[in-house]
């Protein structure tokens, strides 16, 4: 008797769930009808992997530190600190005039001859005004306001992709930040130039390694930097950025296509031509917002491990390839595990570059 009852229940349950599912199909066709879902575009880009030199000039002048000054009265002063200026602030104007270089700021202070200066400062998303009175220093006899400032940066990184249809490029996979404040630098102008890797400092536990390179032609502007975001630097090319070894376009993989398992990284550890090295994608993260830490990767290629120890500075931006598709780019290394690091989804980079809609 019990067996018959159970069997009857099972028979009744199946149609009941079928009814519910059918009911949901009618109310939510966008979720369940595959034909109603718009297909994602098949984006193809040329893989990078070659080293690039990066030169960037900031929009405004970045405050990286504060310093006390000994005035002609023999006392210590700090006009900037006393008036609430902080490291990480960006000075965008003095007395209503735009400033973008350290020289422009110094000139304004000198011309003040000790009179008050009205500073317009960008602090995060807010604009604020500060009035400072420069102090004449005892030792140098010059007017100063007690700030350390910076207006540019330069270094070596790796190209991720070149998109021939739009003439766009992407590199690094993470933002260029100030070494002192950690803030993302706002771009006024910047460029990428040819570079070559001349030596390698091998990474070890607790001490990141480094690719050491040189700018091979500073006068040859390969591309202009337009955006500096959490997911890399992006801009327009002056010429086609296609390397000799990997000179055919590849499809990109969207973040839902990236799987754990075997993959390869395309990077350069000597000269200017990239090579493929084996890695493992150990974990993929379900990111809702763009960010440079999308997947956990491990270097398993003995050639790369013997030379670099794993992921090292300068490899940022190296394309990650899986199943003949570009899935992302190398971004970070774990200091205590140099063979392990992070990568960013290529989808995030394409959105920040403007190739894909956000």
CB atoms within 10 A of CB 230: 18
- Phi and psi of 305, rounded to 5°? -65, -40
User: What is the residue-wise DSSP string for 33-100?
Assistant: -GGGSPPPP--EEEE--SEEEEEEEEEEEEEEEE--EEBTTS-EE-HHHHTT--TT-EEEEETTEE--
Residues 90 and 81: their CA atoms lie apart, in Å, by 14
Residues with catalytic roles: 174, 301, 316
Quote the radius of gyration of the chain (alpha carbons, Å): 27
The answer to whether 342 and 329 have CB atoms below 8 angstroms apart is no
């Amino acid at each position: 008797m019990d067996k018959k009852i159970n069997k009857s229940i099972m028979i009744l349950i199946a149609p009941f769930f079928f009814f519910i599912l059918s009911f949901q199909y009618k109310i939510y066709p966008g979720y369940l009808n595959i034909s109603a879902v718009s297909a994602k575009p098949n984006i193809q880009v040329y893989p990078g992997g070659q080293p690039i030199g990066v030169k960037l000039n900031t929009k405004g002048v970045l405050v990286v530190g504060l310093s006390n000054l000994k005035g002609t009265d023999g006392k210590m002063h700090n006009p900037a600190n006393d008036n609430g200026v902080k490291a990480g602030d960006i000075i965008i104007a003095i007395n209503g005039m735009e400033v973008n270089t350290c020289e422009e700021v110094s000139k304004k202070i000198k011309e003040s001859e000790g009179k008050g200066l009205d500073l317009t400062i960008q602090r995060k998303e807010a604009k604020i005004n500060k009035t400072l009175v420069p102090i004449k220093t005892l030792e140098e006899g010059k007017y100063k306001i007690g700030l350390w400032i910076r207006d540019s940066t330069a270094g070596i990184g790796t190209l991720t992709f070149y998109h021939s249809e739009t003439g766009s490029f992407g590199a690094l996979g993470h933002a260029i930040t100030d070494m002192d404040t950690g803030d993302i630098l706002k771009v006024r102008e910047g460029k990428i130039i040819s570079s070559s890797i001349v030596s390698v400092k091998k990474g070890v536990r607790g001490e990141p390694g480094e690719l050491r390179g040189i700018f091979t032609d500073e006068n040859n502007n390969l591309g202009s930097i337009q955006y500096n975001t959490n997911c890399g630097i992006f801009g327009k090319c002056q010429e086609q950025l296609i390397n000799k070894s990997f000179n055919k376009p590849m499809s990109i993989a969207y973040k839902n296509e990236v799987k754990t398992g075997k993959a390869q990284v395309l990077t350069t550890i000597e000269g200017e031509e990239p090579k493929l090295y084996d890695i493992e994608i150990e974990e993929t993260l379900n990111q809702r917002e763009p960010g440079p830490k999308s997947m956990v990767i491990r270097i398993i290629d003995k050639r790369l491990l013997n030379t670099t120890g794993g992921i090292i500075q300068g490899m940022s931006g190296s394309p990650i390839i899986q199943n003949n598709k570009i899935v992302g780019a190398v971004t970070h290394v774990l200091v205590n595990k140099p063979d392990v690091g992070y990568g960013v989804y290529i989808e995030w980079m394409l959105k920040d570059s403007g190739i894909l809609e956000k």
